[in-house]
Amino acid sequence: MDVPADLLARLRDRLVTTGYTIDGVRERLGDVAAAALAREELVPAERATRDPDPLGALIRLWWLGLAVPERHLELPVAELAAAGLLRRDGDEVRAAVHLQPWETGGYLVSDRKVRPGDPALRPDHVVGAGGASANLASLVTRRPVESALDLGTGCGVQVLHLAGRAGRVTATDVNPRALRLARLSWALSGIEGVDARLGSGFDPVADERFDLVVSNPPFVISPRGRFTYRESGAAADDFCRDLVRDAPRHLNPGGYCQILANWLHVAGEDWRDRVGGWLAATGCDGWAVQRDVLDPAEYVELWLRDSAEQGTPAYRERYDEWLTWLESLGVTGIGFGWITLRDGGSLDPVVRVEELTTPVEQPVGAYVDEVLDAIVTAHRIGADELRHARLVTRPDVVEERIGPPGAEDPARIVLRQTGGLRRHARVGTVEAALAGVCDGELPLGALLAAIAELTGADPDETMARIDELRPLIAEGFFRIKEPANDR
Ligand SMILES: C[S@@+](CC[C@H](N)C(=O)[O-])C[C@H]1O[C@@H](n2cnc3c(N)ncnc32)[C@H](O)[C@@H]1O
Q: How confident is the model at residue 485, as a pLDDT? A: 52
- Its domain, for residue 451, covers 381-480
- What is the Cα gyration radius of the chain? 26
Residue 217 alpha carbon to ligand 1 centre in Å: 5
Q: Is residue 112 in a domain? A: no
Distances (CA, A) of 351 to 126, 282, 379: 34, 10, 10
473 touches 370 (CB < 8 A)? no
Q: Which of 192, 164, 134, 116 shows the shortest CA–CA distance to 364? A: 134
**175 CA closest ligand 1 atom index:** 25
- Shared domain for 370 and 386, answered yes or no, is no
Task: Show the ligand 1 pocket: residues with CB < 6 angstroms.
Answer: 127, 129, 133, 136, 151-154, 157-158, 172-175, 178, 200-201, 216-218, 228-230, 232
**137 CA closest ligand 1 atom index:** 8
Question: Among 358, 377, 396, which residue terminates a domain?
Answer: 377
Question: Among 377, 411, 430, which residue terminates a domain?
Answer: 377
Residue 344 alpha carbon to ligand 1 centre in Å: 27
- Shared domain for 152 and 91, answered yes or no, is no
Q: Is residue 110 in a domain? A: no
Q: Is residue 367 in a domain? A: yes
Residue 151, beta-bridge partner list:
172
Q: Is residue 111 in a domain? A: no
CB crowding 225-254: b at 16 or more within 10 Å, else e: ebbbbbbbebebbebbbbbbeebbebbeee
- Shared domain for 407 and 290, answered yes or no, is no
- Shared domain for 72 and 146, answered yes or no, is no
Q: How confident is the model at residue 88, as a pLDDT? A: 95
Question: Tell me, what CATH number does 439's domain have?
Answer: 3.30.390
Residue 388 alpha carbon to ligand 1 centre in Å: 49
- Shared domain for 166 and 19, answered yes or no, is no
Q: Which long-range contacts (CB under 8 A, 24 or more apart) does 300-307 make?
A: 300/326, 303/220, 303/222, 303/230, 306/230, 307/114, 307/121, 307/226, 307/227
- Shared domain for 183 and 256, answered yes or no, is yes
Q: Is residue 266 in a domain? A: yes
Q: How confident is the model at residue 52, as a pLDDT? A: 80
Residue 432 alpha carbon to ligand 1 centre in Å: 47
- Shared domain for 53 and 179, answered yes or no, is no
Q: How confident is the model at residue 70, as a pLDDT? A: 96
Q: Using one digit for the tens of pLDDT, what is the confidence trace for 455-472? A: 888 888 888 888 889 999
- Shared domain for 268 and 396, answered yes or no, is no
Q: Which of 121, 229, 259, 336 to mutate to test the pocket of ligand 1 (most atoms within 8 A of CB)?
A: 229
Q: Using one digit for the tens of pLDDT, what is the confidence trace for 369-412? A: 999 999 999 999 999 999 999 999 999 999 999 999 888 888 89
Residue 347 alpha carbon to ligand 1 centre in Å: 33
Instruction: Give the chain's domain count.
Output: 3
Q: Which amino acid is at 337?
A: G
- Shared domain for 302 and 427, answered yes or no, is no
Residue 171 makes CB contacts below 8 A (sequence gap 6+) with 149, 150, 153, 156, 158, 159, 179, 182, 194, 195, 196, 197
Question: Tell me, what CATH number does 346's domain have?
Answer: 3.40.50.150
- Shared domain for 73 and 150, answered yes or no, is no
Q: Is residue 101 in a domain? A: no
Q: How confident is the model at residue 487, as a pLDDT? A: 47
Whether the full predicted model's pTM is greater than 0.85, yes or no, is: yes
Tell the residue nearest (CA) to atom 12 of ligand 1.
152
Q: Which of 139, 153, 237, 307 to mutate to test the pocket of ligand 1 (most atoms within 8 A of CB)?
A: 153
- Shared domain for 55 and 173, answered yes or no, is no
- Shared domain for 74 and 136, answered yes or no, is no
Cβ neighbourhood burial of 380 (10 Å; 0-12, 13-18, 19+): middle
371 touches 422 (CB < 8 A)? no
H or E element at residue 441: strand 439-443
Distances (CA, A) of 346 to 154, 342, 461: 34, 10, 33
Q: Measure CA 428 to chain center.
A: 35
Q: Is residue 485 in a domain? A: no
Q: Is residue 145 in a domain? A: yes
Q: Which of 108, 110, 216 to mutate to test the pocket of ligand 1 (most atoms within 8 A of CB)?
A: 216
How far apart, in whole angstroms, are the C-alpha atoms of residue 408 and residue 401?
11
Tell the residue nearest (CA) to atom 27 of ligand 1.
154
First to last CA, the chain: 66
Q: What is the pLDDT along the chain (487 residues), one digit of tens a residue?
A: 779 999 999 999 999 999 999 999 999 999 999 999 999 999 999 999 998 899 999 999 999 999 999 999 999 999 999 999 999 999 999 999 999 999 999 999 999 999 888 888 898 999 999 999 999 999 999 999 999 999 999 999 999 999 999 999 999 999 999 999 999 999 999 999 999 999 999 999 999 999 999 999 999 999 988 999 999 999 999 999 999 999 999 999 999 999 999 999 999 999 999 999 999 999 999 999 999 999 999 999 999 999 999 889 899 999 999 999 999 999 999 999 999 999 998 888 999 999 999 999 999 999 999 999 999 999 999 999 999 999 999 999 999 999 998 888 888 999 999 999 999 999 998 999 999 999 999 999 999 999 999 888 888 888 888 888 999 999 999 999 976 554 4
Question: Among 321, 349, 377, which residue terminates a domain?
Answer: 377
DSSP annotation of 42: -
214 touches 140 (CB < 8 A)? yes
